[in-house]
Structure 1
Amino acid sequence: MTRPPTAAQRRVIDAADPVTGRLRGTPAQLDALVKRGLAFRHSRPPHDHFLTPAGHRIREAEPEPDGSAAATDTATAPEDASGGVFAARVGGEDRAASPHGDPARVREVHSAWQGLLELRRMTNPDGSPDRPCGWERTHLVRAAALALEAAGCRPAGPDGDDGYRVRATAQPEAVAVYGPDGEALRVCGAALERAGWQAGEYTEPRTRARYLLASPRRV
């Protein structure tokens, strides 16, 4: 069984960029994470380090209770000004604390989107920021929601109001995007196309509800 990361390694993992997984730490800390399969060193200059899927899973999991480690983390870990890990709105969340259009939320979304574009530059074989990268293909709902929110589209609230809703589908590399009407779907489709996705409008056979089926473009 693989040993859990040390308190110091956990702090480095928790401080990773919430979208790109880019790490900051001493060379020794980063090398230790690479050896444990929790990070990788990018082959292109400036040879930054990023979380692997295993590292992302540890970052997203609740830390195991450990008295000494928890005390050390609490004493030295920097606070997240946003109150936690950034999460793109897929539609249906309670927006009371940070409503759509709130300046703080706009800044968070912009920063996350710029980080995702940088991840595309770093990980796409041709360095293109115009085409979705591997992270987006393994986080389809979150990636599509970020593209929509970064484009200014409005996510639906908990009561299913006039915003978009992004949902997983049974199809590989595809999400469903629902909206209140055809015009909203067209706006969402155009936003996804600009973000490097391909989207087509369909009708559910049973409910007759219109939706977009969107997937990351490969070329």
Structure 2
Amino acid sequence: MTRPPTAAQRRLIEAADPVTGRLRGTGAQLAALVARGLAFRHPRPPHEHFLTPAGHRIREAQPPAPEEPTPATGVFAARAGGEESPPADGPARLREVHSAWQGLLELRRMTNPDGAADRPCGWERTHLVRAAALALEAAGHRPAGGDTDGYRVRATPQPEAVAVYAQDARALASCAATLARAGWQAGEYTEPRTRVRYLLASPRRM
């Protein structure tokens, strides 16, 4: 059985970028994570280090360290719509969303077998709501919040599928087009009981 990471290694893993898994540490620390299969060194300059899927699983299984900021205090979190305490809108948020989206595209290039950036990667398939919400927010869609209309992304019982709601048919169609450009496939459905229209969206595989 593989030995669990040390406390110092756990701190590095927990401090990794929440979207891209990019790591910061000394050469020896990063090399030790690579040796354990928890990180990899990108072959292209500047040869950054990133968490592997095994590293991401360890990161997500660990409670945040006491000194680690929560999403409400600084760590980027995609807005799925309807959050009680959403991050403030403004230029800073726009920069954060843009940076997160560019990081996700780079993660696609690094982890998709063919290096494709136009198709969702493994991380997105295990973080469906966050990934779909980031694609929508990065494209300029506004999430619902308080009395504000906008999109809402919700988990579904179906594997690799999320439900996306919007204020009207036009907004729903716009969300579908955005997700298609981001590498998702989305179709419109109607809830039998409420007759509310929504998108059922899944990451495209090919």
- TM-score band w.r.t. shorter chain: 0.7 to 0.9
Query: Would you say 1:91 and 2:78 are equivalent positions?
Result: no
The aligned residue for residue 137 of structure 1 is 125
Pick from 162, 166, 190 the counterpart of residue 149 of structure 2. Answer: 162
What is the match of residue 98 of structure 2? Answer: 110
Q: Hey, what's the Cα distance between the residues in 1 that align with 2:134 and 2:42?
A: 27
Residues 52, 215 of structure 1: CA spacing in aligned structure 2 closer, same or farther, 3 A cutoff?
Answer: same
Match of 1:202?
Answer: 189
1:96 CA displacement: 6.0
- Tell me which amino acid in the other structure corresponds to 1:214: A
Using the TM superposition, give the Cα deviation of residue 127 of structure 1 relative to its aligned residue in structure 2, in angstroms.
1.1
* Aligned equivalents of 2:84, 2:164: Cα separation in 1: 19
Residue aligned with 1:212, SS? strand
- Compared with structure 1, are the counterparts of its residues 5 and 83 closer, same or farther at alpha carbon in structure 2 (3 Å cutoff)? farther
Q: Number of aligned pairs?
A: 202
Offset, 1:12: 2.1
Which moved further from structure 2: 180-189 or 13-22?
A: 13-22
Equivalent positions of 1:179-194 (< 5 A) are 179-194=166-181
2-side partners of 1:112 and 1:54: how far apart?
A: 21
Give the secondary-structure state (helix, strand or coil) at the position aligned to 1:199: strand
Secondary structure of the equivalent of 1:107? helix
| Distance apart, 1:17 and its partner CA | 1.7
SS in structure 1 opposite 2:73?
coil
Q: RMSD across aligned C-alpha pairs, in angstroms?
A: 2.6
Distance 1:97 1:172, change over 3 A: closer
Using the size of structure 2 for normalisation, the TM-score is 0.85
How many Å apart are 1:42 and its aligned residue? 5.0
Shift of 1:45: 3.5
Instruction: Note if contact 2:87-2:93 (Cα within 8 Å) is conserved in structure 1.
Output: no
Any gaps of 5 or more consecutive residues in structure 2?
A: none
TM-score normalised over the length of structure 1: 0.81
Q: Structure 1 stretches (4+) deviating beyond 6 angstroms?
A: none
